[in-house]
């Protein structure tokens, strides 16, 4: 699978969020607006936040990849949020996150 199969320019946005949770909600809402997900749901948001609570999805160099599987999604849907000043995602090195790749996938989705 290529990234372009799961992501489109309509799902890239400058984030207005002031917190990690707001950023994740904003990116889920963006997927709905871009018709990649049928409707915003607290359940979908809850799944991503639940996964994030297990351990931070901040990786390195200002990047985080919050993700979850859901029956609301067909295949894999990726949105990218850019935060100019950075957000606290609880990264291991304490650095703020500037790029948030939110990944949603169907329970049966597998990389090709």
108, pLDDT greater than 70: yes
pLDDT at 5: 65
Query: Backbone phi, then psi, for 42, in 5-degree steps?
Result: -65, -30
Q: Which segment of 3-7, 60-64, 83-87, 103-107 scores lowest on mean pLDDT? A: 3-7
Confirm whether 76 is domain-assigned: yes
Confirm whether 81 is domain-assigned: yes
Residues in the chain: 112
Q: Say how far apart CA 97 and CA 84 lie, in whole Å.
A: 9
- Give catalytic status of residue 67 as yes or no: yes
Rounded mean pLDDT of the chain? Answer: 86
Confirm whether 48 is domain-assigned: yes
Confirm whether 22 is domain-assigned: yes
Confirm whether 72 is domain-assigned: yes
Q: How many domains does the chain have?
A: 1
**Which among 14, 5, 109 is positioned nearest to 67, based on CA atoms?**
109
Please give the residue range of the domain that contains residue 7: 3-105
What pLDDT, in 10s, does the model give residues 37-75? 666 678 888 989 999 999 999 998 999 999 999 888 888
* CATH number for 88: 3.40.930.10
Question: Residue 63 burial (CB < 10 Å; 0-12/13-18/19+)?
Answer: middle
H or E element, residue 97: strand 97-105
Q: Say how far apart CA 11 and CA 46 lie, in whole Å.
A: 20
Helices (H), the chain: 3-6, 20-33, 42-54
Confirm whether 16 is domain-assigned: yes
Confirm whether 37 is domain-assigned: yes
Confirm whether 112 is domain-assigned: no
Q: Which of 11, 47, 67, 83 is catalytic?
A: 67
């Amino acid at each position: 699978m290529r990234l372009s199969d799961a992501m489109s320019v309509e799902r890239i946005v400058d984030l207005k969020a002031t917190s990690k949770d707001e950023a994740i909600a904003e990116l889920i809402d963006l997927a709905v607006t871009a018709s990649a997900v049928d409707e915003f749901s607290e359940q979908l948001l809850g799944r991503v936040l639940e996964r994030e609570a297990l351990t931070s999805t901040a990786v390195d160099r200002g990047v985080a990849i919050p993700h979850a599987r859901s029956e609301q999604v067909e295949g894999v849907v990726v949105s990218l949020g850019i935060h100019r000043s950075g957000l606290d995602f609880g990264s291991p090195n304490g650095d703020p996150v500037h790029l948030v790749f939110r990944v949603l996938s169907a329970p049966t989705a597998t990389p090709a």
